[in-house]
Amino acid sequence: MGVSSRRKAEELIIEGRVTVNGSIASIGMKADASKDHIKLDGKLIKKAEPHIYLMFNKPRGVLTSMSDPEGRPTISDYLKGVRFRVFPIGRLDYDSEGLLLLTNDGDLSHAVLHPSRKIPKTYVVKVKNVLMDEKLALLRDGIRLEDGITAPAGVKRIKNTENNSWIEMTIYEGRKRQIRRMLEKLGHPVMRLRRIAVNGLKLMGLEPGQLRTLTAEELETLKREVLS
């Protein structure tokens, strides 16, 4: 039931810390987890929840949190039909949108977020004014921010309009508001920011506010580099 190893469980039983339906358990006793009340140190043991993995298309104007004292919309407003408690893997700013992964698998979440993994995250970004090629090169080389120089980013131009540029950026760090700060440093405030991929897993088939379970293939894509 996810409490301990088999050998450790035997030790807990020998120490008299396990009860079944109020009686102290013994080695060799049989119990049915779906029917019997099994307790460790007086606390009822519940069957471990299955791991679930969700893709969510976070809309703009929604907090990546489960509650907000100011009453603003949060991602929990979109999880009413989810049976198990999940949490987001990383964050997206209130004004940002796009791919957000949700799970109850703490090990996978930790692996994705750990800086040593350098997990690629790709965004489509609209900025104020037209970005010249030399500034795109600066983004690729790294921008000096107050918390140090950013790692080289993957950057390509999507299109220019008369007053704006659309670019695609791939970063490998998880600094707070990193893309916004990088572009503000270059004098091009972000007007729209949308995450479209994480570690090769692409945002597909979801309207803003919709979520779905990852397919087996998508989960394998996500885990391939993260847990190797």
Q: Which residue is catalytic, options 41, 68, 77, 93?
A: 93
| Residue 93 known to be catalytic | yes
Backbone angles phi, psi at 140, to 5 degrees: -65, -35
User: What count of other Cβ atoms lies within 10 Å of the Cβ of residue 48?
Assistant: 10
CA dist 10 to 6, 40, 69, 200, Å? 6, 12, 46, 43
The DSSP element (H or E) to which 129 belongs, if any, is: none
CA atoms within 13 A on the CB side of 97: 17
The DSSP element (H or E) to which 158 belongs, if any, is: strand 154-160
Would you name the residues annotated as active-site residues?
93
